[in-house]
Structure formats: structure tokens, C-alpha cells
Amino acid sequence: MPAYQNSVNPDTYKIATELFGDQLDAFRQHLLDLNHARSTVGHHLRCVTFLAEAMKANSIPLAELDDAQAVAIIEKTDWRRKRKTYVTFIMKRFICFLNGHGLARPPSPRTAKEIARAELKGDYESYLRRQRGLSERTIFHCWRFADRFLEFRFGDAVGDLSQITPSDIAAFLLHLTTRTPPFRDKTPPTYLIEASVSLTVVPDTTSPLSARA
């Protein structure tokens, strides 16, 4: 078993290789090409092997696998919400990788907003990874809050990043603290400041996002 899989249960890893074939190792290499840390690669593979085990237990064929199936599998666990959110992100990432190789259920045609948001997400994550040197977990949480903020600010519209103001960010933070139940995570201000710098505050930065604004 390759070194990157030495923390994965051999039995579940075997199930995953039988189900996904060469795509499991191809996904591992894809993560390595993105310069992910060993721990990040290992965590992704553990999530994928869990997915494979659940698919086998629920008789879900690879051709029927999509985001909805993955979410349904995760919702059946007794994990904490934060863990469910992160594992959902990893599983959707793997399914997107499979789709790119003509496997799993093809996604529904995306709307203009979804296309624009996906491009924005890719640029933002690339900037945080290459220019800021942030960890994958931090990048995940930065985008999670940035995406929620964009939903709050623009709703169903594609949105114009140049229209974002400090008042919009303050209104979003107020929304988080006054909602029912109140949002208890203390990190949103940090993540949103990171996002605002990339999106609007520094027009001459090397971030691809600022070029969009």
C-alpha cells in the first residue's frame, strides 16, 4: 500500500479500489499535484474509502453516484455538523473529479450564477494556496464563509464584486450574531477579512479575484 494510504483501513481501501479502480490513485496524484500536505491527502482518501464502503452497503452503483447521494450518506452519520460539512466538501470534490473522467452521474446543467461562483471559488482557493500559503482546512473555511457572504449580499444574482462595501460585511456579521440560533463560531470575522482583502480592498494585489472586481 502506498505511503499516503498507510493510515487508511486496508479492507475499506480494497473496497474503494474495487469500486473506483484507477481513479482512486489518480485522485491521490491530483491532490499531490496541487501540493497538498500528506495529512490532507490522507484525510481525503479516508473520506473516499468511507464513501465507497457506504456505497457498497447501500448498493449504490458508481453510475448513480452524485452529490445528493453523498450528502444523504453523510446525513446518516452521527458526526458533528462541522465534520459533516468538511467531509461533504471532500466527497463533492471527488465526485467532481470522477465527472471530469466521465464517471458517476453527470451533474445537472449549471446556472450562470453557479458557473460564475465556481470560477470565483477556483481563483480564490488558488490565490490562498499559492500566494498566501494557507492550509487546505483554512482555505475550505475561508471559502465557506465567503460563499455564505456572497449569498447574503447577492442572493440569486451573479453579483458584481465591485459593489461590495465594508457595510455589507458588517451587515453579514450582524446577521450571523442575531440569527436564531446565534452563530457561535468566533472565526467568521477573520475569514471574511481575508475574503474582503482578496475581493475588494486591494485592487493591485496578485489575487485573481481582485482582477474580477
Q: Which residues have C-beta within 8 Å of that of residue 61, sequence separation ≥ 6?
A: 55
What pLDDT, on the 0 to 100 scale, is given for residue 213? 39
Q: Which three cell numbers stand for residue 58?
A: 447501500
What pLDDT, on the 0 to 100 scale, is given for residue 179? 67
What pLDDT, on the 0 to 100 scale, is given for residue 67? 93
Would the pTM of this model clear 0.75, i.e. be above it?
no
What pLDDT, on the 0 to 100 scale, is given for residue 73? 94
Intervals of the chain under pLDDT 70: 1-7, 179-213
Task: Give the amino acid at 31.
Answer: L
What pLDDT, on the 0 to 100 scale, is given for residue 188? 57
Neighbours of 189 (CB within 10 A): 13
What pLDDT, on the 0 to 100 scale, is given for residue 62? 94
Q: How far apart are CA 16 and CA 56, in angstroms?
A: 9
